[in-house]
Structure 1
Amino acid sequence: MPKLTAKTFFTEAEQQRIETAVQAAEARTSGEIVPMVVDESYDYPRAEIVGAGFFSLATAVTASWAFGHSSVWVFLPIFIILYFPFKCLIRALPGLKRRLIHPAEIATEVAENALVSFVEQGLHHTRDKTGILILISLFEHRVFVLADKGINDRVEKATWDEIVHLVTGGIRSGQTAEALCTAVARCGELLEEHFPVKQDDTDELPNLILS
């Protein structure tokens, strides 16, 4: 089975459904909603280094104890030889690599990537500071919602958590596109309540980003 990436996460039909949902939500408000899917928020090199070191150390210690009378001259070559294969193995197995990363580090990197993406995509340039980013980070299995100050000041934080749970629930049930469309519609309702559409509004940002 080919590796699932951000660009293949949704079918073309699903991408069209999501973009249509964004357009429908934005037609009722002056705000901007941008769903974004990324392969990963960070490459986590420390997980590969520490993991490869641990596995090669454990294997070398065991082998030198079992076959080399705990000789350092048996231990060192085994450790050196196995370090890079283990590092490549961890890189090739996302599930294993993810288990070597502390959840707090994952949460920090996803939040940081959301903030960087928010700025890079220009969501902070909306007229009333009403940009909303819904980030799906595939490697981390995380969803993060980041809203600009205009709408964030008027919405309880728990509301964004509800949108995150809505999307993550859809991912778990295999209904990601449908759940994301529902989340977009909910964001549109929040924006419409506080920032209704204006006569000179334009669609300022992309309606779906896959990277």
Structure 2
Amino acid sequence: MSAINLFTAEQQQRIIAVIREAELATSGEIRVHIEKKCTEENPVKRAIEVFGNLGMHQTAEQNGVLFYLATEDRKFAIIGDKGINERVPAGFWDSTRELLRMHFAAGDYAEGLCRGIDEAGRQLKQFFPRAHDDSNELSDEISFK
């Protein structure tokens, strides 16, 4: 199964809607990237590459978050930009990662992403609340390779 076929059109739209909803509470920018195979042994290393390829480091507050998933290799990572990493405590992504792991282990990728994105938005709100003049700096669309 190719990465783009992992989700139905309805599931893709639901994930995008959850990204938009999460971003209503935070100035953080959330993206999802899905590919079939992870080209690195460590999915965090690959997520860092994808983060750069998607231009996610260009947000004003350096507060982009990437949910990376390699479907065939069953690997995933959640990474935040420099601005996030400088402000959040160690282990900040642990609960979100476990939420994803639980749903992914059951084969429920769409629900896992939706729950994880929602959780990330709530957590980011503490450190990056949405300002009245906040704009959407990054696409909410899922990227596929």
Per the TM superposition, whether the score is higher than 0.5 is yes
Name the CA distance, whole Å, in 2 between partners of 1:140 and 1:10: 17
* More helix by percentage: 1
Name the CA distance, whole Å, in 1 between partners of 2:144 and 2:90: 26
| Number of the residue aligned with 2:89 | 156
**127, 131, 137: which one pairs with 1:198?**
131
| TM-score normalised per structure 2 | 0.91
On the 8 A contact 2:38/2:75 being kept in 1, the answer is no
* More strand by percentage: 2
The size of the alignment, in residue pairs, is 144
Name the CA distance, whole Å, in 2 between partners of 1:9 and 1:168: 17
* Alpha-carbon distance, 1:32 to partner: 0.1
**79, 94, 109: which one pairs with 1:176?**
109
| TM-score normalised per structure 1 | 0.64
Name the CA distance, whole Å, in 2 between partners of 1:206 and 1:138: 22
Name the CA distance, whole Å, in 1 between partners of 2:110 and 2:139: 17
* Alpha-carbon distance, 1:202 to partner: 1.7
- What SS does the aligned partner of 1:190 have? helix
| Number of the residue aligned with 1:46 | none
**13, 16, 19: which one pairs with 1:16?**
13
Deviations 1:130-164 (A, max 9, x none): 10001001232111111012112222342313322
1:41 paired to 2:38: yes
Name the CA distance, whole Å, in 1 between partners of 2:137 and 2:6: 25
Name the CA distance, whole Å, in 2 between partners of 1:181 and 1:156: 23
Task: Report % sequence identity.
Answer: 31
Unmatched 5+ residue regions in structure 2? none
Unmatched 5+ residue regions in structure 1? 43-104
Larger-Rg structure:
1
| Number of the residue aligned with 1:116 | 49
Deviations 1:116-142 (A, max 9, x none): 111111111111111000100123211
- What SS does the aligned partner of 2:41 have? helix
